Structure 1
Amino acid sequence: MTDLASSAPHIHAASHYEDLRDWGAQPEPLAGASHSTGRLLFKGPGNVPETGIWVCTPGRWRICVPRDEFCHFVAGRARYTATTGEVTEVRAGTCVLFPAGYAGEAEVIETIRNIYMLA
């Protein structure tokens, strides 16, 4: 069940929800051909906040996070390597807050599904 027009927009069973939209290839690929699909749950005035579901296939690309982004990974496996060399491994059940300005590389090892919120 989905009610995106509700005063409290919601998606039931978000970890398995399949009514996703094509969001295209990941920009700046370094390896593979990662492709994204997703579903926007809510976008506020000036695009703040933004929340939804993001699914991405394997590959590696450069990443730069423009705003604080909270991610709850509900499927798959990935590795984020900051420009400082710090590595963050994620898998189903991992929650991560990428602060605004986080930069480095993202590598999806097994297709990931992420419930996200940009603030």
Structure 2
Amino acid sequence: MNIDRILDLAASSAATDTYLPAPEKILAGHPQQSVRNDYASPCGQFNVGIWTGEPGQWTVNYSEHEYCEILQGVSVIRDKEGNSRTVKTGDRFVIPAGFSGTWEVVESCRKVYVVFEASQD
């Protein structure tokens, strides 16, 4: 393998997919989202890309470990017990597999994600 295989995310030409969470997961607003998956490993368990979200709130259930770096905006992540963490531009964090709760975009949000799927069922 040579250096040409190194992926420059800024120069990526990957397609962007736009979607809404499943209707039963939406708790508030119209949380339109988009994802540009720039890299998928051959095994399918490791992915890297850019995610954007518009204001709204929905439920989340993580089967994957996810590293996030917020590039712009503000979101609030809440666990099932109602504890919350506000994340904003410049924040970097990991959401472990098994986390359940809600994600709320307060101000249009954009993040880099690095995901490792914990299991392939």
What is aligned with 2:8? Answer: 10
Identity percentage of aligned residues: 25
Equivalent pairs, count: 110
- The one of 6, 20, 23 aligned to 2:18: 23
What is aligned with 2:119? Answer: none
Output aligned runs, 1:74-85, within 5 Å.
Answer: 74-85=71-82
Rounded to whole Å, the distance in 1 between the matches of 2:15 and 2:110 is 11
Aligned residue type for 2:9: I
Q: In 2 relative to 1, CA 113–20 (structure 1 residues): closer, same or farther, beyond 3 Å?
A: farther
TM-score normalised per structure 2: 0.83
SS at match of 2:97: coil
Conservation of the 8 A alpha-carbon contact between 1:26 and 1:33: no
Aligned residue type for 2:79: A
- The one of 53, 56, 78 aligned to 1:56: 53
> Could you say what the CA RMSD is over the residues aligned between the two structures, in angstroms?
1.8
What is aligned with 1:93? Answer: 90
Aligned residue type for 2:8: H
Aligned residue type for 2:72: A
Structure 1 position 109 matched with structure 2 position 109: no
Pick the structure with more helix per residue.
2
Q: Which has the larger radius of gyration?
A: 2
SS at match of 2:90: coil
Aligned residue type for 2:109: I
Q: Which 4+ residue blocks in structure 1 deviate beyond 6 angstroms?
A: none
Rounded to whole Å, the distance in 1 between the matches of 2:26 and 2:43 is 28
Aligned residue type for 2:21: Q
Unaligned runs of 5+ in 1: 1-5
Report deviation, 1:32.
Answer: 0.7
What is aligned with 1:72? Answer: 69
